[in-house]
Amino acid sequence: MIDYADRVGSVEPAAPLVMSNLVSELTEQGDDVVNLSVGQPDYETPEQIKKATKDAIDAGHTTYTPSNGIPKLRRAIATHLNERHGLDYEAENIIATPGGKQALYETVQATVDPGDEVIVFEPVWSSYEPMVKLAGGETVRVDLAPHDFHLEGALDKLEAAISADTALIILNSPVNPSGMVFSDEAFRGVRDLAVENDLPVISDEIYKELIYEKDQLSLAALDGMKQRTITINGVSKSYSMTGFRLGYMAAPTDHTAQAGKVHSHSVSCAPNFVQHAAATAMTDADTDAITGEMTEMFRRRRDTLVELFADRGVTVPVPESGFYAMIPIESDDDMQWCKDAAREAGVGVVPGKAFGTPGYARVSLVDTQDRIREAVDRLATEGFIWSLSCWSPRWHKLMRSEPVVYLTREIPDTGVQLLESACDVRVWDGKLPPEPDTISRRLSELEAEGLVCLLTDEIDAEIMNASDSLRVISTFSVGYDHIDLSAAADRDLAVGHTPGVLSETTADFAWALLMTAARRTVEGHEYVQADRWETWEPTLLTGPDIHDGTLGVVGFGNIGTEMAQRAAGFDMDVVYTDRGAKPEAEARLAELGVDARHAELNDLLAESDFVSLHVPLTDGTEGLIDKAQLKAMRDDAILINTSRGPVIDTAALDTALENEWIERAALDVTDPEPLRAGHSLTRHAPEKLIVVPHIASASIGTRDQMARMAAENLLAGLKGNPLPNSAHTDHD
């Protein structure tokens, strides 16, 4: 039998992992659990970083590295800290570790002897105290709960906690678990006491890039602190690279020398290819864009959580950063409360006692606003929110005066604000569209009276029947082929869409695609990016002439005629095909100096230099451009599609490009959408195919107008009035 060390026996497993494991077990059993216990962003690692990881492996970066990290990464970390956090470090001040937790562990091992005291602030991250115990030390806690989890009002407590045995202060801001950001005055107070008592300080700043409305000092930037501060950070949170396990410490060289001993004898080095990926993240990635998107996402979720509790008379300390919040609970055993909440309500959170703050539970804002609402609903319904044990979604419906409207995706504020003026608006905020069963479930749970959907949502009878209260469906799209109108008529549902707003914008984009494909713009960009531009050549990346060419327009509605007008500026011949000739459109264009003539599709394809598709998706147009039509085109022709993906037979286009039946194609829409890596079309280089992600209508003005129209349709239907833009004549 193994006799284990007392210091290990004194340490409990990490509470967040205990709850995460329980949630995993319940999920494996088939339970639907809203998991708000995990400490990692639900944000996809940026593709640029994933590619850098793969490239590093392919380049053979799978060996040991220098123990403290590859020079490229250590330089990148120092530059990052200096430029973004106002610090002054060199590569020699950096140790790259397998996760920020390892940097903390090595620092504690290097600075704490048995019997030493280490000061921490409650609520405190659950791993600090075990690290200190494993080094033989003891923690002294400074309680911040009476000060709304802020430090400034507790500086006198910090001063009183310092003794002759104090070896280290651990400062964590932004704070896990409360999400608070300490003030400049608090940092200066810590500085004054550390200098006065000659104490080193760990400044754990892992969440510093995820602050909502303000900024925060870095402790080592203050006078007198560079030589006594160990700054801890990493790429897990700010670049959503939790599984990469790459953190770092930045510290005086005497500390890196001592901590480096622990490092080299425990982990040797951080993984080689991960270090290369982290270097790419810190030097080449758009940090502001990545962290800005994450921060805004978490801020919206924070607002939702705080408002949900406030509506029910419960005050939640408002987090200022990151993706955590502390919610008040009523229980003598908060670990049991959390386990029961997971098993009975299907909500995973972490007990506050793990952070030294009993009476609270930590919520991670790492699921959609929709799921956060669902989690609060479940906790309240099952009686886990003590002041609301009698509350239920149905009671709430009876008490509310506003109809609930469910949005399957976030739309521009022009529409949301209009809806919020009269409705209780609930929005799905996942990065990918909700699955059909998710839409059905939420419509049912919310007893929603209105639904705003997108073209990517297939709205069928099952979804429509999910809520007996549903009265109106308004789609944020031109067209409604994704909605079962027969089923809507059976339910007497009003259905609206947003026609007539995209003509000019879509024609602009179709013309831009034509120009891009003809003049080989994407190839030119890649040519320069690949460092192939050694000299200018007369025949470099030449393309076909647009002036005096022939433009074939398939579908001569509003967008098609707009396309014809743009061709006039290039003295192009315009030939069009539609269900028949359109003499009125021809006459209108003639007044603008555009000569447009009608032709059958095969004749149009045979003579056009450029073919631009502008037809709606119907049974008659699905697969309109098939193998026979592609063979009928000129072999130097360019095909443009900004209508609907299924208008082109994808397999036939793949064959046409492979066999050079046409020169190239430029697509704003594809079948399927989205077009994933590995699809046969993605193997074609830009000289044969350009694909963009359905953005022809993505101008600020048109999207705002569509949002307003979608909201106006829905509000009219809720009032029992005819929809301004009805998709179903039965509701006009």
β-bridge mates for residue 577, sequence order: 554
For residues 406 and 452, is the Cβ–Cβ distance under 8 A? yes
Among 83-92, 186-195, 396-405, which is the least confidently predicted range? 396-405
What SS3 class is residue 444? helix
Please report the DSSP string for 596-658 in residue order.
EEE--HHHHHHH-SEEEE-----TTTTT-B-HHHHHHS-TT-EEEE-S-GGGB-HHHHHHHHH
d(CA 553, CA 615): 9
Average pLDDT over residues 235-249: 96
The answer to whether the beta carbons of residues 91 and 73 sit under 8 Å apart is no
pLDDT digits (tens, 9 = 90+) for 586-611: 988 888 888 899 999 999 999 999 99
Write out pLDDT tens, residues 88-117: 999 999 999 999 999 999 999 999 999 999
Amino acid at 489: A
Cα separation, 630 vs 639, whole angstroms? 9
pLDDT score of 201 more than 80 = yes
Q: How far is CA 253 from CA 93, 256, 260, 676, in A?
A: 5, 5, 10, 47
Alpha helices for 452-582 (secondary structure H):
461-464, 485-490, 503-518, 521-529, 558-568
Separation CA 378–CA 34 (nearest Å): 9
Sheet strands (E) in 20-165: 34-35, 94-97, 117-122, 138-143
pLDDT at 63 over 50: yes
37 - beta bridge partners? none
pLDDT at position 172:
97
pLDDT of amino acid 395: 37
Rg (CA), the chain: 31
Instruction: Locate the DSSP E strands across 649-725.
Output: 664-667, 689-691
How many Cβ atoms are within 10 Å of 453's Cβ, its own excluded?
25
**213, 320 Cβ separation under 8 angstroms:** yes
Tell me the CA distances in angstroms from 408 to 366, 456, 501, 676, one per residue in order: 18, 10, 21, 22
Determine if the peptide bond prior to 41 is cis (ω within 30°). Answer: no
Is 644 among the catalytic positions? Answer: yes
Helix spans in 314-368 (H): 334-340
Span 510-559, pLDDT tens digits: 999 999 999 999 999 988 988 888 888 888 888 899 999 999 999 998 89
Give me the catalytic one of 80, 85, 302, 644: 644
Residue 563 to residue 585: CA distance in whole angstroms? 12
Render pLDDT for 334-379 as a digit per residue (tens, 0 to 9).
Answer: 889 999 999 999 999 999 988 988 889 999 999 999 999 999 989 8
Is the distance from CB of 413 to CB of 357 less than 8 angstroms?
no
Q: What residues pair up with 474 in beta bridges, in sequence order?
A: 452, 496
The dihedrals phi and psi of 389, each to the nearest 5 degrees, come to: -60, -20
Q: How far apart are CA 682 and CA 687, in angstroms?
A: 12
Note the pLDDT of residue 344: 92
User: Prior bond to 403 cis, omega within 30?
Assistant: no
Q: Which of 39, 51, 525 is nearest to 281 (CA)?
A: 51
Q: Write out the E strands in 32-164.
A: 34-35, 94-97, 117-122, 138-143
Residue with tokens 């930037």: 221
Q: Is 673 a catalytic residue?
A: yes
What confidence score (pLDDT) does residue 401 get? 58
708 is catalytic: no
Residue 12 has pLDDT above 70, yes or no: yes
Q: Which residues contact 712 (CB under 8 A, 6 or more apart)?
A: 418, 724
pLDDT cut 90: percent of the chain above it = 74
* Active-site annotation holder among 276, 694, 703, 708: 694
User: Residue 520 in contact with residue 534, Cβ under 8 Å?
Assistant: no
Q: What per-residue string of b and e applies to 98-118 under the rule 16 or more CB within 10 Å gives b?
A: bbbbbbbbbbbbbbbeeebbb
d(CA 637, CA 125): 63
Alpha-carbon distance 68 to 74, whole Å?
Answer: 8
Residues 307 and 315: their CA atoms lie apart, in Å, by: 9
- pLDDT at 390 exceeding the cut of 70: no
pLDDT bucket at 386, cuts 50 / 70 / 90: low
Q: What is the pLDDT of residue 491?
A: 92
Say if residues 341 and 353 touch (Cβ distance below 8 Å): no
pLDDT at 430 over 80: no
How much of the chain, in percent, has pLDDT values that exceed 70? Answer: 97
* β-pair type (166-172, 117-122): parallel
Query: Residue 728's pLDDT is what?
Result: 66
**Amino acid code (one letter) for 713:** N
Mean pLDDT of the chain: 91
Per-residue pLDDT, averaged over 288-292, amounts to 94
Of the pLDDT bands very low, low, confident and very high (cuts 50, 70, 90), residue 717 is very high
Residues linked to residue 360 through DSSP beta bridges, in sequence order: 328
Distances (CA, A) of 248 to 101, 217, 233, 266: 9, 18, 6, 15
pLDDT given at position 302: 94
Closest CA to 36 of 57, 19, 55, 54: 19
Q: Residues 193, 199: contact at Cβ < 8 Å?
A: yes
User: What is the DSSP-derived secondary structure letter of residue 146?
Assistant: G
Which tokens hold the place of 534? 């050694």
Catalytic residue among 504, 673, 679, 687: 673
pLDDT for 399 beyond 50: no
pLDDT at 732: 37
- Return the pLDDT at 657: 96
Backbone angles phi, psi at 424, to 5 degrees: -90, 105
Quote the pLDDT of residue 588.
Answer: 86
145 within 8 A of 196, measured Cβ to Cβ? no
For residue 18, the model assigns a pLDDT of 83
pLDDT at 397: 41
Beta-strand pair 247-250/229-234: antiparallel
> Which letter does DSSP use for residue 41 in this model?
-
Helices (H) and strands (E) in the chain, counts: 26, 24
Among 235, 270, 228, smallest CA distance to 251 is for 228
Among the listed residues 106, 674, 700, 162, the one whose alpha carbon sits nearest the alpha carbon of residue 411: 700
Average pLDDT of the residues in 241-259:
96
